[in-house]
Structure 1
Amino acid sequence: MTIRGQRPRLLFVHAHPDDETLATGVALAHHVARGDEVHVLTCTLGEEGEVIPAPLAHLEGAAGDPLADHRRGELAAAMRSLGVVHHLLGATSGDDRPTWRDSGMAGSAAAEHPRAWAGADLDEAAAAVRAVIEQVCPDVVVTYDATGGYGHPDHVRTHDATVRAIAGMTVRPALYVTLTPQSWVLEDREWLAEHVPQDRGLIVPGPHAPFATSVVPDAVVTHVVLDPSVVAAQSRALRCHETQVVVGDGWYALSNHVVSRLAGREGYGRFDPLTAQLLEQEESP
């Protein structure tokens, strides 16, 4: 992403703790290293997350949502590690929980919770996001594409709320959404097949495995952040999210044991909040 001016300010809007480092960790670390001012807004505390370490399994699904407070600590550690400024949607102090709650995966009973983010009134959600945007005054806002990356209802709500928030502003920051070129996915699968240990019960997607919904033809991706030097910083931040992520040498896995590559590159597309359409490339990234 090319931004003119001195010390640009960026705001990344995400649904749950760890999403920021998984989906945009390269851009976060890259822009911090450049000396830019980087902010992250998290909309929920990931109360429905699936816990990986056995010693922490008691947190999953427990009464009172103790996983929320644990993941808040993980998120704070990751933000310190990356060197970004963090905001929690609707929280007015460091001890407050956000206005909305993790809705769980599609079809989850958690979607019926009265505070579920996926069920939030879109105008109210957009107003809350807009308040943070107006507070931060970013040059650039980054969030998921319209499918939420892989269809997670909270990611979709985050996209919709962010788009509506910016569309209602008189002076609008540039909006980008996360996209991945198909050729990268195929290259990463080849790399994973050669580098991921075969004795750990991990799943390496085959060359014909389905793509995530945010994987698009290469030409659709108009902006790229390419910086292998920040993989170590991204990996350190991911290790802070111990309940959700297992990190290896150049790869990570979630609770489903499916591995993904840490390749030091991320793709994005410029998004028009008024037409809700991707824009064609206007300049070199």
Structure 2
Amino acid sequence: MTSTDRRLLLVHAHPDDEAIGNGATMAKYVARGDRVTLVTCTAGEEGEILLPEIEHLAADREDSLGPHRVEELAAAMKALGVTDHRFLGGPGHFRDSGMKWADDGSATAADETRPDTFWHADLTVAADLLVEIIRETRPQVLVTYDQFGGYGHPDHVQAHRVATYATSLAAVRSYRPELGEAWDIPKVYWSAMSKSQMAEGIRKLREAGDETTFEGWDPDNLPWGATDDELDAKVVADEFADAKMDAMKAHASQIAVDGPFFALSNNAGSQVWGTEFYRLAKGQRGPVGPDGLEEDLFAGL
């Protein structure tokens, strides 16, 4: 398979999710000539605004954060070199559902959620929009969240459900042929945070004298993430860590430049964010490296 034959599709919930979880992977694959398509399911209208100068855009004030985050996403994609990025149904078609923090430290649905949010979207209606994109782009690899959405956010959970259902429907020859010719995606991955990698980064911060970043997080008992035996693949893209950082900086309304992501990068080395991990949810594992992990999401294809 040549580089021009390789096609990767990523399905994310909000602008900024893609840069945090898969920014280095996206930049690496674009640089080697692969086609990378990003689908974002909401415009992130309910996001918590970190910049005082745009606080008026908040959902409980002007409620115009969505268009601003659309622009941030465009800037982030420019930093990563991704030219094909879309919103499911178009910008604002599905509204950000918001969230609240549960007692166990995970995210969960807010007490009150608007009826036009992604969380309340009809699964088949949302999946059909993605089916059409799958059949158009015909990816060999799809990346999305696990069934918990990584940490419980309802839009992440819904993105997982929509991507999973759309993957199945897109492969059925007789299902809605007007949406394009059927396509069966060979490999599906769930993006994963490596607990051991995260623990190593936190320990390095503590060794450097930083006790405030990730305050309260026990490296030996992290609230989210995948253990080493749950991981199937990793993409080592240290040379694209700076591009990932630039993409994250583009999401300035949501990610503080002096916050934990950048502190970990600056104090523990950008390689912490240049390697990204995955769990294989569909398809056969390809050749693996010395640590038993695939080193390319297209391995074996």
Q: Normalised by the shorter chain, which TM-score bucket?
A: 0.7 to 0.9
C-alpha separation in 2, matches of 1:249 and 1:56: 18
Deviation at 1:101, TM superposition (A): 0.5
Q: Which residue of structure 2 lines up, in the alignment, with residue 169 of structure 1? A: 170
Deviations 1:214-252 (A, max 9, x none): x12212211100121111000111111110002359933
Instruction: Indicate the residue corresponding to 2:222 in structure 1.
Output: 210
Indicate the structure with greater strand content: 1
Q: 1:110 to 1:129 in 2, by over 3 A?
A: farther
Residue 203 of structure 1: CA displacement? 3.5
Is the Cα–Cα contact under 8 Å of residues 41 and 86 in structure 1 kept in the other structure? yes
Residues 134 and 170 in structure 2, CA contact (< 8 A), matched pair in contact too: no
Equivalent positions of 1:51-90 (< 5 A) are 51-63=49-61, 65-84=63-82, 85-90=84-89
Match of 1:103 among 97, 103, 113: 97
> How well do the aligned residues superpose, as a CA RMSD in angstroms?
2.4
Give secondary structure in 1 for the equivalent of 2:21. helix
1:46 and 2:44 correspond: yes
* SS in structure 1 at match of 2:96: coil
What stretches of structure 1 of length at least 5 have no aligned partner?
A: 92-96, 254-258, 273-278
Q: Structure 2-normalised TM-score?
A: 0.79
Residues 9-55 of structure 1, C-alpha deviations (whole Å, 9 max, x = no match): 11111000000101111211111122211111111000000000111
Question: Secondary structure at 1:216's aligned position in 2?
Answer: coil
Q: 27-36 vs 48-57, which deviates more?
A: 27-36
- Alignment check: 8 A CA contact 1:47 1:101 kept: yes
Which runs of 4 or more aligned residues in structure 1 lie more than 4 Å from their structure 2 counterparts after TM superposition? 195-198
CA deviations on 1:50-81 (whole Å, 9 max, x unpaired) are 00011111111245521011111111111111
Tell me how far 1:185 sits from its aligned partner: 2.1
Aligned position for 2:240? 230
Q: What do the CA deviations read for 1:142-167 (whole angstroms, capped 9, x no partner)?
A: 11111101010000000010010011
Q: 1:116 to 1:195 in 2, by over 3 A?
A: farther
Q: Which amino acid aligns with 2:156?
A: H
Within 1, Cα distance between the matches of 2:281 and 2:60?
Answer: 39
The TM-score, its normalising length taken from structure 1, stands at 0.84
Task: Sort the Cα spacing of 1:88 and 1:156 in 2 relative to 1 into closer, same or farther, 3 A.
Answer: same
In 2: Cα distance, 1:65 partner to 1:192 partner: 37
Aligned residue type for 1:251: F
* 2:194 counterpart of 1:181: yes
- The number of residue pairs the alignment matches comes to 261
Residue 276 (structure 1) aligns with: none
**SS of equivalent residue, structure 1 residue 252:** helix
**What are the superposed Cα offsets for residues 96-143 of structure 1, whole Å, 9 maximum, x if unpaired?**
x332100001232552x1211011111111111111112222121111
Instruction: Measure, in 1, the Cα distance between the counterparts of 2:61 and 2:51.
Output: 19
- The code of the aligned residue for 1:136 comes to T
- For structure 2, the 5+ residue unaligned runs are 100-107, 172-182, 289-293, 295-301
Alignment correspondent of 1:127: 128
Deviations 1:242-284 (A, max 9, x none): 100023599338xxxxx9x852111112213xxxxxx674432
Is the Cα contact below 8 Å between 2:193 and 2:277 reproduced in 1?
yes
Q: Which residue of 1 aligns with 2:3?
A: 6
Given the superposition, is the C-alpha separation of residues 34 and 193 from structure 1 closer, same or farther in structure 2, using an over 3 Å criterion? Answer: farther
Matched letter for residue 188 of structure 1? G
Give, in whole Å, the separation in 2 of the partners of 1:156 and 1:15.
Answer: 9
1:115 is the counterpart of 2:99: no
1:240 is matched with 250
The 8 Å contact of residues 48 and 110 in structure 1, kept in 2 or not, is answered as no
